[in-house]
Amino acid sequence: MRALCWVGAEGLAVRRVPDPELRNAHDVIVRVRRSATCGADLALLTGAGPRLGVGDVLGHEFLGEVVEAGPEVRRHRVGDRVVVCSTVSCGGCWYCRRGLYSCCDNGSSAEAVVAEPPWGAPTGGCYGHPRSTGGFAGSHAEYVRVPYADVGAFAVPDGVDDDRAVFASDAAPTGWLGADLGGVGPGDVVAVWGAGAVGQLTALAAFMRGAERVVVVDRYDDRLRMAEHTVGVETLHLGRTDVAAELRERSGGRGPDVCVEAAGESGAGARPLTGRLGARPADTLAVREAVHACRKGGTVAVLGAATGFVDAFPLGAVLHKGLTVRGARQHGQRYIPRLLELMARDEVRTEHLATHRLSLEQGPVGYDLFRTRSDGCVRVVFIP
C-alpha cells in the first residue's frame, strides 16, 4: 500500500509499505477515507522524537471503513464506517477502568520503557508516533491496523459526513478534555491560547459547559477571524496586545477562572523543541502566560504536545496564587460517543477546520502548508 513516511529530519515521502495484517483477535483493519494533520506531529518531523525510524508511517487522526475484523471483535463488522481514537488503549487495565485511557498500561510497545527517564512511566500509545509512545503505523496510509478495536473505534452516524467526523478522532476530544480538565462551569471566564483546531474546539466545549466569556489568544489573524466567526469567541492578538492586562479587564480585574494552553510547542506563543526527547528544554511561552494570567485559585490546563522538559516554568506563581495545573493527552474514549451524537445533531461542526483537502501523494506539500500556516491553513485532510 501507499503511505506517507518519515525519511529523515524534515523529510517526508510517499512510499510503498507492506499492507497491515491482523495480529490478534481484537484487531480490525481499516481502509482510510480521511486522515488529518496535527500539531503533535510537527516535532516528529524534525527528528525530535526518540527512536523514530526512517520509513515510519505518520498520522494519527483518521476515519475509515472496516475491511477485516478479528474473531473476538464484537462491536464492528466489515463495511462499518468508523472513527478511531488517536490514543491506543486496552480498556481493561487499572487506568482504563478509571477513564484515564491515554495512561493505559497496555497501549504501547515494549519499547515504551524508554519514556521512564523523562516522564517517570510509560504511557498509552498513539498511531504514527515513535516506539516509546506507541510503535503503531500511522494513518496517512491506505490501510491501518487498529488494535483493541472494540475500545478505540466508534461507528459514525449516517448523517455525519467524513470531513466532520474525522475530527472526532483527536482534535474534538482534546478540546473537550481541555474544558474538562479546567472544570469549566456556568459563568466562568475562560482564556484559550491557540486558535487552531484544538483551541477552537476547547472554546466550543467551554461554551457548551456554560462559560460566560471565552477569549482566544493567537498570533495568526486568519485563525482568530475563524474562531470569532465559527465559535463566537472574543479574540486577542499575541504581540499587539498586553494579553494579561486585557484578560484582567475582561474578567472583573481578577483574571480568567480557567486558562487553557492549546498551542503546543509550535503554536501561539511557543518556540519549538529541538533535539531528542528531554535533551533540551522547551521555552513554552503560552504555558507561562496562562499561569501568570489566571486568577488566584484558578485552573490552568495544558494540552499542547510537549515532549520534554520546560524551561523557566513559573512554579512560584502556581504556589502563591493557589493554582491548579492539570495536563493530559486526550482520553478520547470518554468523549467520542457523545461528540458523534452532537455532530449528528449539528451542535458540533468541525468541517470548517479542514481548510485544505489533498491527496495522499501531496502529503509533503500538505505538511509544509500546515507547518508554515501558509494559505490560511488550519488542518490538512488527506484522501488516499
Residue 284: pLDDT band by 50, 70, 90 thresholds?
confident
Q: Is 252 exposed, middle or buried (0-12, 13-18, 19+ CB in 10 A)?
A: exposed
Where is pLDDT greater, at 332 or 42?
332
Average pLDDT across the chain, whole number: 89
Nearest to 367 by CA among 60, 2, 12, 35: 12
According to the model, what pLDDT value does residue 271 have? 43
What the block records as the C-alpha cell of 180 is 474538562
Q: Is-contact 61 170, C-beta < 8 A?
A: yes
Q: In this structure, what are the phi and psi dihedrals at residue 247, rounded to the nearest 5 degrees?
A: -65, -35
* 23: exposed, middle or buried (Cβ count in 10 Å: 0-12, 13-18, 19+): exposed
Distance CA 293, CA 298 (A): 10
Task: Tell me what pLDDT residue 278 has.
Answer: 40
Question: How do residues 289-331 score in pLDDT, each as one tens digit?
Answer: 999 999 999 999 999 766 666 667 888 899 999 999 999 889 9
What is the C-alpha to C-alpha distance for residues 166 and 156, in angstroms, rounded to an integer?
10
Across the range 71-99, mean pLDDT stands at 96
For 362, how many CA atoms within 13 A lie in the half-sphere containing its CB? 14
Under the banding of pLDDT at 50, 70 and 90, the label for residue 27 is very high
| Among the listed residues 182, 166, 144, the one whose alpha carbon sits nearest the alpha carbon of residue 30 | 144
Sorted by sequence, the CB contacts under 8 Å of residue 154 that are 6+ apart come out as 82, 83, 84, 85, 168, 336, 337, 340
Q: Residue 51's pLDDT is what?
A: 62
Residue keyed to cell 494579561: 244
Alpha helices in 120-265 (DSSP H): 149-152, 162-165, 171-181, 197-208, 221-231, 243-249
Tens-digit pLDDT profile for residues 151-185? 999 999 999 999 999 999 999 999 999 999 999 99
pLDDT score recorded for residue 49: 54
Beta bridge partners of residue 261, listed in sequence order: 193, 302
pLDDT-based confidence at residue 276 (cuts at 50, 70, 90) = very low
Q: What is the mean pLDDT of residues 15-31?
A: 96
- Strand partners for 299: 258, 324
Q: How many residues are given for the chain?
A: 384
* Portion of the chain with pLDDT greater than 70, in percent: 88
Percentage above 90 pLDDT, the chain: 74
pLDDT of residue 272: 40
In this prediction, residue 39 has a pLDDT band, given cuts at 50, 70 and 90, of confident
Contact 28, 50 (CB under 8 A): no
pLDDT in the model for residue 116: 63
pLDDT at res. 48: 55
User: What is the predicted pLDDT for the residue at 282?
Assistant: 45
For residues 282 and 311, the answer to whether their CB atoms sit within 8 Å is yes
Residues 312-340, buried b or exposed e (16+ Cβ, 10 A)? eebeebeeebebebbebbbbbbbbbeebb
- pLDDT tens per residue, range 108-154: 865 655 666 666 777 778 999 877 677 899 999 999 999 999 999 99
pLDDT over threshold 90, residue 8: no
Residue 41 or 267, more confident: 41
Per-residue pLDDT, 9: 73
pTM here is 0.92
